[in-house]
Structure 1
Amino acid sequence: MFEIEGKVALITGGASGIGLEAAKQILQNGARGVTIADINAEAGEKTVEALRKEFGRDKVIFTKTDVSNKESFEDAFKSTLAAFNNIDILMNNAGIFDEKNYEKLIQINMLGVTHGIVLAIQKYLINYRTGSEGVIINTASIAGTRGIQSIPIYSATKSAVVSMTMSFGNKVHYERTKVRVVAVAPGFTLTDILNDLTTKSLDENFARVMKRHGKTVKTQTVDFVGRSIIKIIKEKPSGTVWISEEGKDIEEYIPSLPLVEIE
């Protein structure tokens, strides 16, 4: 089991929602330090002040980060090392819903995760971790495991996160890097993104479908997703994706066709 106590985490999109809840629960589990990386500096600074009051001033820092820009993302790693000397956990959580602006959606949700994984496995979690193993946990979505007709582009970006998790997390890479790559795939969660699902749909036709769909879905709290994240970080094997829906145990997503294995 991976012990969070004494470890250092970098969380993108950590100023609110699932990222903020993950930061709280990682700190509650004894983390030595957490970096909140977010594009929203005002929200990020407020979040860090609140976390410092609860957990201590030396436990949390903020760095303004645009995950779609590789240099900006790397600066978040550098800030983490400057503050805490190590990095053990990367949570690729930053994401948006805006199908009207789908190029930005793809850049943040897909390219941002790619930047994080590549920087971590090529340099930062390889060379600067505290112990023998590092962990990358990606925030995917149930939309990435099955596709949702009302949000096709968002679904595609989260499918990419699922695929990257399984591919980068395969044993052929883990045996070399000792960096576990895992993902949480939450169901509909009570965060700000829910407010965007109809106002930022691709067009009015997709918005109408989303409104119909929205009447049938069950929502969950960020607290439940946070507990799922802790369990995945501590226990789950590299290359696995775990569906988190409140009222159920987390369930591994198994694709219909297995990943091609290389001996």
Structure 2
Amino acid sequence: MTRLLSDKVAVVTGGARGLGQAMCEAFSEEGARVIALDMGEMTYNKENVEYMELNVTDSDACQSVYEAIIEKYGKIDVLVNNAGITKDALTRKMTEDQWQAVIDVNLNGVFNLTRHIGPHMAEQGSGSIINISSVVGTYGNIGQANYAATKGAVVSLGKTWAKEFAMKGADVRVNTIAPGYTMTDILKTVPEDLLDKFAKMTMLNRLGQPEEIASVALFLASDMSSYVTGQLISVDGGMRL
């Protein structure tokens, strides 16, 4: 039985844990050779998931990792720009370092890798790029001006790249996922009463699971979404309805 990503090479930034881990595992189970890029150590072992250390803010390192992947596998079929950080503070209290750190990882980091992989996909004639945004990128959030700015920006990047990388007729698709509150390690440190409040903000009256985000990423990575590009897909349980 042919799996959804058989013979595909997928690259996932922030792939060592959380949402990245869930996506790496889902892609691997559907036949992909997966390269998990991260600064932290892998927190799991999965067949066909290979770890490579990368700081996405380092432009030269991004180029080197891209070249190493192409040298080893000859192609890249899927890129998930998932790496991200938060450094929350009210705007009047936010330091330049807090602002810049989030911009560097969440926005510059997305550009640093895609500037190589996107044109490669255009040249090979096919590929799927998936940016991971957030509901905060659409609706904003108190104390997260830096994070909201970056997550809104990657939506616009996705729409622009959907046009650029398919400009000469290549079958390259670029889409963005905006998760709602999802039970990753970050939320596990949040007090239970706040988690209950977040859950009640959704139409489904619960928080999301990493596997639910990963299933949408799998859809976008595979040929099931062959006519979907330039889109923002919210996976938030109806949080803002």
TM-score range, shorter chain: 0.7 to 0.9
Letter in 1 for 2:112: H
Query: Per-residue displacement from partner, 1:57-79 (whole Å, max 9, x unpaired)?
Result: xx232111010111111222223
**Within 5 Å, which residues of 2 pair with 1:103-122?**
103-122=100-119
CA contact (8 A) 2:129 2:173 kept: yes
CA contact (8 A) 1:10 1:80 kept: no
Rounded to whole Å, the distance in 2 between the matches of 1:181 and 1:10 is 14
* Aligned partner of residue 185 in structure 1, secondary structure: strand
Q: Which runs of 5+ in 2 are unaligned?
A: 90-97, 200-206
CA contact (8 A) 2:135 2:236 kept: no
Rounded to whole Å, the distance in 1 between the matches of 2:160 and 2:187 is 29
2:26 matched residue in structure 1: 25
Rounded to whole Å, the distance in 1 between the matches of 2:71 and 2:115 is 20
Q: TM-score, normalised by structure 1?
A: 0.74
Q: Which of 192, 211, 215 is the matching residue for 1:227?
A: 215
Q: Which runs of 5+ in 1 are unaligned?
A: 199-210, 249-263
Give the drift of 1:103.
1.1
Query: Per-residue displacement from partner, 1:208-234 (whole Å, max 9, x unpaired)?
Result: xxx997653122110111111112223
CA contact (8 A) 2:176 2:233 kept: yes
Query: Per-residue displacement from partner, 1:11-50 (whole Å, max 9, x unpaired)?
Result: 110000111100110111111x11111011xx23x53xx1
Rounded to whole Å, the distance in 2 between the matches of 1:224 and 1:3 is 17
2:95 matched residue in structure 1: none
**Within 5 Å, which residues of 2 pair with 1:206-221?**
216-218=197-199, 219-221=207-209
CA contact (8 A) 1:126 1:179 kept: yes
Give the drift of 1:83.
3.0
Q: TM-score, normalised by structure 2?
A: 0.81
**Within 5 Å, which residues of 2 pair with 1:34-49?**
34-40=34-40, 43-44=41-42, 46-47=43-44
Rounded to whole Å, the distance in 2 between the matches of 1:113 and 1:196 is 27
Rounded to whole Å, the distance in 2 between the matches of 1:134 and 1:89 is 6
Query: Per-residue displacement from partner, 1:76-115 (whole Å, max 9, x unpaired)?
Result: 2223223322211111110011136221111000101111
Letter in 1 for 2:198: V
Give the drift of 1:195.
5.9
* Aligned partner of residue 83 in structure 2, secondary structure: coil
* Aligned partner of residue 14 in structure 1, secondary structure: coil
Rounded to whole Å, the distance in 2 between the matches of 1:183 and 1:196 is 27
**Paired positions, count:** 218
Q: Rate the CA distance shift 1:227–1:4 in 2: closer, same or farther, 3 A.
A: same
1:207 matched residue in structure 2: none
CA-based RMSD of the aligned residues comes to 2.6
2:65 matched residue in structure 1: 76
Q: Rate the CA distance shift 1:221–1:212 in 2: closer, same or farther, 3 A.
A: closer
Farther off after superposition, 71-80 or 219-228: 71-80
CA contact (8 A) 1:134 1:178 kept: yes
1:174 paired with 2:166, answer yes
1:238 matched residue in structure 2: 229
Q: Which of 88, 108, 118 is the matching residue for 1:99?
A: 88
Give the drift of 1:173.
4.3
Q: Rate the CA distance shift 1:239–1:62 in 2: closer, same or farther, 3 A.
A: same
1:88 paired with 2:88, answer no
Rounded to whole Å, the distance in 1 between the matches of 2:113 and 2:235 is 22
Q: Rate the CA distance shift 1:60–1:173 in 2: closer, same or farther, 3 A.
A: closer
